[in-house]
Amino acid sequence: MGVVSAVLITGCSGAGKTTIAAALASRGLVAIDSDDDPLLARMVDADGNVVEHEPPEPDLAWLSRHSWSWDPERLDIVIQTAAPATLYVCGGAANELELADRFTHIFMLEIDEATMLARIDARENNDWGRIGDTREYLRRFLPGYQARLRAGGAIAIDARQSLDYVVETILAVAEVPGARTSRVTG
């Protein structure tokens, strides 16, 4: 098996993780939207047990007792399967900083609350942020989440910028051969 390398691109709901995964894949890179793998990303209770049935309209009390988490063993398999290519894992999880040692770089797609809410309202394939108390949960979650990622050493990228700018910044920092970096200015 070749060298194992993975890059995490994370952020809150609406930050652009799914869009970045598609953009990277269109450039011929190995990229996944972690939410698309039900063995990797799943809702768990406070004891780490996988939730079989989520309420259709989760309230703040339920949300405070559950989290979206990654299975560490599954993450290892997904990363190893991509080798020798670098795997771009686009997604977020409550335990992502605990799994930081699996990644050569961690990028945070940073956005403000207004951008987050506008993007959530505009998307058609995901109701998170529009059902039950998920919108209020995300509003409360965003500032602390981004602060934790910054404190954990994540590389912040202003995800309000153009898609090309964000992708080129990621590729330039991750030192991908042939990445165009002319638009990357800090």
Q: Which pLDDT belongs to residue 2? A: 54
| Cis peptide leading into residue 84 (ω within 30°) | yes
d(CA 81, CA 90): 16
pLDDT of 185 = 32
Q: Is the pLDDT score of 182 beyond 90?
A: no
What are the residue boundaries of the structural domains of the chain, listed by start? 5-173
Could you give the 3-state DSSP secondary structure of residue 102?
helix
pLDDT, residue 36, reads 96
The structure tokens listed for 32 are 């996944």
- What separation in angstroms does the CA of 52 have from each of 38, 62, 69, 77, 144? 11, 14, 14, 23, 28
Q: Where are the beta strands (DSSP E) in the chain?
A: 5-10, 30-33, 41-45, 66-70, 86-90, 105-110, 155-158
Determine the Cα–Cα distance for residues 151 and 78; give it in Å rounded to an integer. Answer: 26
| pLDDT reported for residue 177 | 54
Average pLDDT in the chain:
92
| Distance of alpha carbon 155 from alpha carbon 144, whole angstroms | 16
The DSSP string of 2-35 is ---EEEEEE-STTSSHHHHHHHHHHTT-EEEEGG
Q: How far apart are alpha carbons 128 and 133 in whole angstroms?
A: 9
pLDDT (tens digit per residue) in 53-75: 999 999 999 999 999 999 999 99
**Model pLDDT for residues 18-46, shown as the tens digit of each residue:** 999 999 999 999 999 999 999 999 999 99
For the residues 136-157, what does the mean pLDDT come to? 97
pLDDT tens digits, one per residue of 114-133: 999 999 999 998 999 999 99
- Has residue 180 got a pLDDT over 70? no
**pLDDT category of residue 4 using cuts at 50, 70 and 90:** confident
Which listed CATH number (3.40.50.300, 3.40.50.720, 3.40.30.10, 3.30.930.10) goes with 5-173? 3.40.50.300
pLDDT band, very low/low/confident/very high, at 166 (cuts 50, 70, 90): very high
Contacts 24+ apart (CB under 8 A), 76-85: 76/102, 78/32, 78/37, 78/40, 79/4, 79/6, 80/1, 80/4, 82/6, 82/30, 83/1, 83/2, 83/3, 83/4, 83/5, 84/1, 84/2, 84/3, 85/5, 85/29, 85/30
* Predicted structure pTM score: 0.91
